[in-house]
Amino acid sequence: MKTLVLADHDNKVLKDATLSVVTAAAKLGEVHVLVAGNNCELVADHAAKIAGVGLVLLAEDAAYEHELAENVAPLIVNLMSDRDAFLAPSTSTGKNVAPRVAALLDVMQISDILSVEGPDTFTRPIYAGNAIATVQSSDAKKVITVRGTAFEKAAREGGNAQVEKIGTTGDAGLSSFVSAELSKSERPELTSAKVIVSGGRALQNGENFHALIEPLADKLKAAVGASRAAVDAGYVPNDYQVGQTGKIVAPEVYIAIGISGAIQHLAGMKDSKTIIAINKDEDAPIFQVADIGLVGDLFKIVPELTEKLPG
């Protein structure tokens, strides 16, 4: 079986999400990685070094610079003529591209897989992660998105795949890139951080969020996350959101501060190794998943905790 993995990158850096997808694809068969972008040869060179990758396909075109699904999907469909499975990470880009590929190939998409049980059988979460479904696909070609936290990351070194430059399909003329407002941060990326400090509605406003959550995150060298209530209220940008409709994370330590633990939030973080919750309501649902719980007022506890930590 031959697979095609969509590399997640920004034309300069190959993102970690790709590594988990390579692991999932390797369970199905031979792994080919598609690097579609503009001036992204360096990314292809990095992809070629990933352990387990057999071939890297490099498609460079201005039309692929921002990985617009309308432009990238036809390229993938062409490449799928002699491949059996297409796998993309469950990132914004992957979740944008995969459905279009599935539609063009006239197959069902298998979303957010947690495991590969066989060549046509996978598990995936349903009901916000409260149940796991085993799904079997009879489609000749599989189109799959992969939950990164469910698969080990393939090693970034150890491979020596050939990089093959391929022809492009150009601009489909269906969409155009206008602008992107990305929050710049020196902190680790949310989906690959070992420690995450997340804040909720209880922070009351953006000033409190920055004044309380960030110093604690700085001391722990942690990424910062947030509940949807905190994001919707404008305390922090949307890309901080953890949960069913945000990012799925599974760090070593997840600290939830002033977050109630709604099912949609838990769906994004309950696989974290150690969960620490700070909440003034001892009956808050977050305490049902927490390994360590601190009942009290965050405005008192968090500054004290930050001060006592070294560094």
Q: List the one residue out of 198, 200, 176 whose CA is nearest residue 187.
A: 198
Known binder of ligand: residue 147? no
**219 by DSSP, 3-state: which?**
helix
Task: Compare residues 105 and 202 and give the one whose CB is closer to ligand FAD.
Answer: 202
- Nearer Cβ to ligand FAD (56/278): 278
Question: How remote is the C-alpha of 42 from its chain's centroid?
Answer: 22
178 is in an annotated binding site: no
Per the CB < 8 A criterion, the answer to whether 216 and 304 are in contact is no
| 263 known member of a binding site | yes
Count the residues of the shown chain that bind ligand FAD, applying the rule CB under 6 A. 28
Cite the beta strand spans of 39-192 per DSSP E.
55-60, 85-89, 109-113, 115-118, 121-126, 131-136, 142-146, 162-165
What burial class does residue 97 get, using C-beta atoms within 10 Å of its C-beta: 0-12 exposed, 13-18 middle, 19+ buried? buried
Alpha carbon 86 to chain centroid distance?
17
**23 makes contact with ligand FAD (CB under 6 A):** no
Residue 123 annotated as binding site = no
Residues 216-235 that bind ligand FAD (CB under 6 A): 227-230
Q: Which residue is nearest to ligand FAD (CB)?
A: 243
Residues 257-276 that bind ligand FAD (CB under 6 A): 258-260, 262, 264-265, 268
- The DSSP 8-state label assigned to residue 82 in this structure reads G
Cβ atoms within 10 Å, residue 48? 19
Nearer to ligand FAD, 36 or 262 (CB): 262
Site membership for ligand FAD, residue 243 (CB under 6 A): yes
Rounded distance, CA 283 to CA 286, Å?
8
Which residue among 252, 297, 304, 307 contacts ligand FAD (CB under 6 A)? 297
Long-range contacts of 122-126 (CB under 8 A, 24+ apart): 125/267
Shortest distance (Å) from residue 243 CB to ligand FAD: 2
Please say which residue, 86 or 235, places its beta carbon nearer to ligand FAD: 235
> What's the rounded Cα separation, in Å, for the pair 40 and 272?
33
**Residue 48 is encoded by which pair of tokens?**
């070629």
Residue 125 in the binding site for ligand FAD (CB under 6 A): no
Instruction: Considering only the stretches 21-29, 71-79, 82-90, 243-251, report the one whose residues sit in contact with ligand FAD under the rule CB under 6 A.
Output: 243-251
158 annotated ligand-binding residue:
no
Stretch binding ligand FAD (CB under 6 A), from 24-32, 107-115, 185-193, 291-299:
291-299
Contact between 245 and ligand FAD by CB under 6 A: the answer reads yes
Binding residues: 201, 227-228, 241-245, 258-265, 279
Q: Where do contacts with ligand FAD occur on this chain (CB under 6 A)? A: 200-202, 227-230, 241-246, 258-260, 262, 264-265, 268, 278-281, 284, 297-299
